[in-house]
Amino acid sequence: MRFDILTLFPGFFDGPVRESIIGRAVANGIIEVKTWNIRDWAPGKHKTTDDAPYGGGPGMVMKVEPIALALEALSNATDAARPVVILPTPQGKPFTHAQAQQLASCERIIFICGRYEGFDERIRGLADAEYSIGDYVLTGGEIPALAMMDAVSRFVPGVLGEPESAHDESFTDGLLEYPHYTRPEDYKGMRVPEVLISGNHGRIALWRREQRIIRTLERRPELLAAAELTPEERRLVERLKGN
Ligand SMILES: C[S@@+](CC[C@H](N)C(=O)[O-])C[C@H]1O[C@@H](n2cnc3c(N)ncnc32)[C@H](O)[C@@H]1O
């Protein structure tokens, strides 16, 4: 899978693309990450990529031409399938686990990283989807692009090794993950739940499933409506709610 990132700050990606799981996936050729400086497509001597907003007001707005030219060049650059173009923006649809999983089947994704006050509205027409990574405003689209690329990459076969696998993690089947413990068994009087040291794998699996339901109810109750629960688990939820 290939990611192309259009940004005014290509250096932003140097570390994240080299380190840890993503770095290993890049080194093994499972994913490819290319960063491009939008300025390289800015016409004129000054290579301007932003301008003052029509109608006045504070801040600068990213110009449409450099981004349109960059997209044209990148789309024609290879014979691979047409890329999916994503615009990170606080006004986009909330980016979720399900979208990350779905996007992992694409051959190519292009992210357009905004800066300043944001984009000329006509840039929205060049994108296939607009996503937000949360209800807050960051200084640029680089962190959202990185966050989305990371989340998508985890679903690309071979990126996660077996021990890191996405099995039973938060949001798979609509539930949060169960609590984890490692050595020591007793830390300042806080003991590891007895079931986890019982060696009884059936009991451990049941406990973990129940913990996922309890956690979700406590922390993100709105997820339970769409979670994949058995009738017995639905009854457990009702009991926990005191119904
Ligand atoms: C300072 S922000 C612009 C915010 C814009 N003026 C607004 O109020 O919606 C600059 C860029 O950062 C990116 N960005 C900031 N917060 C984001 C978020 N929560 N999710 C996705 N992208 C975000 C977008 O690319 C945006 O164009």
- Residue 79: count of CB within 10 angstroms of its CB: 5
Q: Counting atoms of ligand 1 from 1, which one is nearest the CA of 139?
A: 1
Q: What is the pLDDT of residues 197-238, one digit of tens each?
A: 999 999 999 999 999 999 999 999 999 999 999 999 999 999
Q: Is 53 a pocket residue for ligand 1 (Cβ < 6 Å)?
A: no
Provide the mean pLDDT of the chain.
Answer: 95
Q: Is 225 a pocket residue for ligand 1 (Cβ < 6 Å)?
A: no
Higher per-residue confidence, 41 vs 163: 41
Q: Is 136 a pocket residue for ligand 1 (Cβ < 6 Å)?
A: yes
Q: Is 216 a pocket residue for ligand 1 (Cβ < 6 Å)?
A: no
CATH superfamily of domain region 2-162: SPOUT methyltransferase, trefoil knot domain (3.40.1280.10)
Q: Calculate helix-pair angle for 142-153, 20-27, nearest 10 degrees.
A: 70
- Type of residue numbered 190: M
Work out the burial of residue 158: count CB atoms within 10 Å of its CB; fewer than 13 is exposed, 13-18 middle, 19 or more buried: exposed
Return residue ranges of the chain for CATH 1.10.1270.20.
167-240
If one residue of 138, 139, 143 were mutated to test the ligand 1 pocket, choosing by the most ligand atoms within 8 A of its CB, it would be: 138
- Going by pLDDT thresholds of 50, 70 and 90, the confidence category of residue 170 is confident
Return residue ranges of the chain for CATH 3.40.1280.10.
2-162
Q: What is the mean pLDDT of residues 74-81?
A: 73
Q: What is the pTM of this model?
A: 0.95
Q: What CATH code would you report for 167-240?
A: 1.10.1270.20
CA of 142 to the centre of ligand 1 (A): 10
How far apart, in Å, are the Cα atoms of 194 and each of 69, 203, 212?
61, 11, 17
Q: Counting atoms of ligand 1 from 1, which one is nearest the CA of 133?
A: 20
3-state secondary structure at position 215: helix
Q: Counting atoms of ligand 1 from 1, which one is nearest the CA of 62?
A: 27
